[in-house]
């Protein structure tokens, strides 16, 4: 009866874990919509408030919304300046001198070879609005704004070898220029200059901002930030999300801002202040679902006959670890930390470096994950040896433990004291067997972060049906491995890898010594199949790691059992005793049932 009750409890707890996990993930961390609609705000010339925040009002002094326009229509102008770099293709809009058209050449939307490139920047008014603008603010002077028509002064196409310069004359003695340069990756440098051909001194503040819609942003979760991001001498700021910026108004970061912008899981748009020039950063709502990241420099006085310049860099691209680290080495403070490694950075970043090394060695991230798993198991092997030694010691003192439990079964405090005394006398540590489990928790979570954040893993195949190790296993049992045209719910999408995970874990538990408590035995027998459901929606690369870890653990257990024959003999003896006890119990029940019928 007790065993049946324990089994029922174990099944109920497993069901709570299974369905509770799926409910929590869907409720608190929903997936972002693929093609959300957006209402974009119309912007006119900027102005500077007394508090130093750039204002971009609509014609009537309030933010106005207009229906979203098609990206193709917005890009139809023949006057656009083409951007053609090794990893970026796009254009600059001469109206407002905005960088509002960027495609990433080396990143596709899906795993299909004919898939379109990732579009990062899109013009204002489209449902994917995301652009950068550079300008000046000041009082009592005519300044270029969002509707200003700039003229090409130098260059025709922006390439790595050929910069482009745009110019505008305000007709009152001030000549403004924007010089655009681009490197081999994702960094543009925009040099703002103003020449004063008048008689008096003019006070101006150079600025730049990134404007984007949150409708196309990645979902921000408890362990991965998506939204406003900035860096200063105090570190990288992940504190704000879009809703908080809307609710609390402009978020002023103050002076000393090194860079500021918006991040998704894989993509980043950030403005980097000129080195040695004080700049302030601000996040603010631009109306509706649109947000701004402002970078504004301290005021400068442009005297008669003088020219003042400020150079601001714009990163608009993929958060490739090596590229970010390269820019950091070139002087962009803490740029490598734009990847939100979190608390486990101390283990996630080295693990990622090893994974990259193995990938360069074998040319396949799946094989690299298996190789990393092998290295981790080698690292943990001495601990596993201690675990098995501890298990052997615990088995050796079991008869004494049973005697103590029988003698002090009615006196729990005394039993605990006697057990502690026994452990001390026999030099046994009952917690030693748990050490490998505790050590693997941060390793597992760090690998989870790596697979989630590293864009280098995105769309990387293994073999066969596994075309993207950063996505869940697509071959699920319920849709006959893709033959039926429907996608099962997350917790029922049991793929081949999930089944292999459950099976290898079940084998691992079978090879372990049987637990003394019947409740523990039942939980250990059920847990592999519960975890099969829980882990099914995770990235295929993570399941590949776990399966590889289970297989290596099985091999390790076989080896260590051969080195500890007394433990294996004791385990087989325990199983035989439990089997005989179960047969006796079954026979007694049958005998009792026969007597009751008689």
Residue count (the chain): 598
Domains assigned to the chain: 31-340 (2.70.98.90)
Can you read off the two tokens belonging to residue 172?
A: 């009152």
Between the CA of residue 421 and those of 388, 394, 395, 413, 425, what are the distances in Å? 22, 14, 17, 13, 6
Strand partners for 80? none
- 188 close to 131: Cβ distance less than 8 angstroms: no
Tokens representing residue 207 in the block: 């600025």
Closest CA to 228 of 258, 200, 270, 191: 270
Find tokens 């001194």 and name the residue: 201
Angle between helices 345-362 and 435-453 (to 10 degrees): 70
> Any idea what DSSP says for residue 479?
T
Residue given tokens 């050490």 in the structure block: 435
What is the DSSP-derived secondary structure letter of residue 220? P
User: Within a 10 A sphere around the Cβ of 306, how many other Cβ atoms?
Assistant: 14
Residue 267, strand partner residues: 318
DSSP 299: P
H or E element at residue 2: helix 2-28
Write out the chain's pLDDT in tens, 598 residues. 444 444 444 445 554 544 454 545 444 444 443 333 332 333 333 444 434 444 543 323 334 445 678 888 889 877 899 999 999 999 999 999 999 999 999 999 988 888 899 999 999 999 999 999 999 999 889 999 999 999 999 999 999 999 999 999 999 999 999 999 999 999 999 999 999 998 889 999 999 999 999 999 988 877 789 999 999 988 999 999 999 999 988 999 988 899 999 999 999 999 999 999 999 999 999 988 999 999 999 999 999 999 999 999 999 999 999 999 999 999 999 999 999 887 778 888 888 899 999 999 999 999 999 999 999 888 888 877 777 667 666 666 777 777 877 787 777 888 788 878 877 777 776 666 566 667 777 887 888 888 888 898 888 889 888 888 888 888 777 766 666 666 666 656 788 888 898 899 888 877 765 554 555 566 667 888 888 888 888 888 889 998 998 898 888 878 877 776 666 666 666 666 666 766 776 666 666 666 665 5
Count of helices and strands (H, E) across the chain = 13, 24
Three-class secondary structure assignment of 54-81: EECCCCCCCCCEECCECHHHHCCCCCCE
């Amino acid at each position: 009866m007790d065993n049946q009750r324990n089994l029922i409890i174990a099944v109920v707890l497993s069901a709570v874990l299974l369905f509770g996990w799926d409910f929590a993930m869907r409720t608190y961390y929903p997936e972002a919509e693929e093609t959300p609609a957006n209402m974009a705000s119309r912007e006119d010339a900027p102005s500077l408030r007394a508090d130093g925040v750039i204002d971009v009002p609509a014609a009537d002094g309030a933010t106005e919304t207009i229906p979203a326009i098609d990206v193709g229509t917005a890009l139809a102008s023949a006057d656009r300046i083409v951007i053609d770099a090794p990893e970026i293709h796009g254009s600059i809009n001469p109206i407002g001198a905005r960088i509002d058209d960027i495609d990433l050449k080396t990143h596709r939307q899906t795993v299909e070879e004919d898939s379109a490139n990732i579009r990062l920047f899109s013009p204002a008014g489209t449902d994917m609005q995301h652009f950068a603008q550079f300008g000046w603010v000041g009082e009592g002077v005519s300044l270029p704004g969002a509707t200003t028509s700039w003229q090409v002064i130098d260059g025709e196409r922006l390439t790595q070898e050929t910069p482009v310069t745009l110019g505008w004359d305000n007709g009152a003695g001030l000549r403004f220029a924007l010089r655009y340069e681009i490197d081999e990756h994702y960094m543009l440098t925009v040099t703002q200059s103003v020449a004063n051909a008048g008689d008096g001194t003019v006070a101006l503040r150079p600025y730049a901002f990134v404007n984007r819609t949150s409708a196309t942003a990645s979902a921000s979760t408890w362990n991965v930030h998506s939204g406003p991001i900035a860096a200063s001498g105090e570190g990288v700021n992940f504190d704000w999300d879009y809703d908080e910026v809307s609710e609390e108004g402009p978020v002023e970061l103050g002076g000393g801002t090194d860079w500021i912008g918006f991040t998704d899981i894989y993509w980043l748009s950030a403005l980097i202040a000129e080195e040695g020039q004080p700049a302030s950063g601000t996040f603010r709502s631009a109306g509706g679902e649109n947000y701004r990241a402002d970078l504004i420099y301290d005021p400068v006085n442009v005297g008669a006959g003088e020219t003042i310049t400020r150079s601001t860099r714009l990163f608009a691209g993929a958060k490739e670890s090596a590229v970010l680290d390269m820019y950091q080495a070139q002087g962009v403070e803490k740029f490598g930390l734009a990847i939100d490694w979190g608390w486990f950075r101390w283990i996630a970043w080295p693990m990622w470096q090893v994974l990259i090394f193995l990938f360069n060695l074998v040319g396949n991230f799946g094989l690299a994950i298996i190789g990393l798993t092998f290295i981790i198991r080698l690292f943990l092997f001495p601990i596993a040896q201690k675990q098995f030694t501890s298990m052997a010691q615990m088995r050796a003192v079991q008869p004494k433990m049973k005697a103590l439990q029988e003698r002090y079964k009615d006196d729990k405090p005394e039993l605990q004291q006697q057990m502690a005394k026994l452990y001390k006398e026999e030099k046994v540590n009952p917690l030693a067997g748990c050490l490998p489990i505790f050590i693997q928790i941060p390793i597992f979570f760090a690998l989870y972060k790596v697979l989630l954040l590293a864009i280098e893993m995105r769309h990387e195949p293994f073999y066969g049906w596994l075309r993207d190790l950063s996505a869940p296993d697509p071959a699920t049992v319920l849709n006959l491995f893709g033959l039926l045209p429907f996608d099962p719910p997350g917790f029922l999408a049991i793929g081949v890898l999930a089944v292999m995970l459950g099976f290898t874990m079940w084998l691992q538990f079978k090879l372990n010594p049987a637990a003394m408590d019947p409740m523990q035995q039942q939980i250990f027998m059920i847990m592999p199949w519960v975890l099969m459901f829980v882990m099914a929606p995770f990235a295929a690369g993570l399941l590949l790691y776990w399966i590889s870890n289970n297989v290596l653990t099985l091999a390790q257990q076989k080896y260590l059992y051969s080195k500890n024959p007394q433990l294996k003999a004791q385990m087989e003896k325990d199983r035989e005793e439990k089997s005989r006890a179960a047969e006796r119990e079954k026979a007694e029940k049958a005998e009792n049932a026969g007597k009751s019928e008689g």
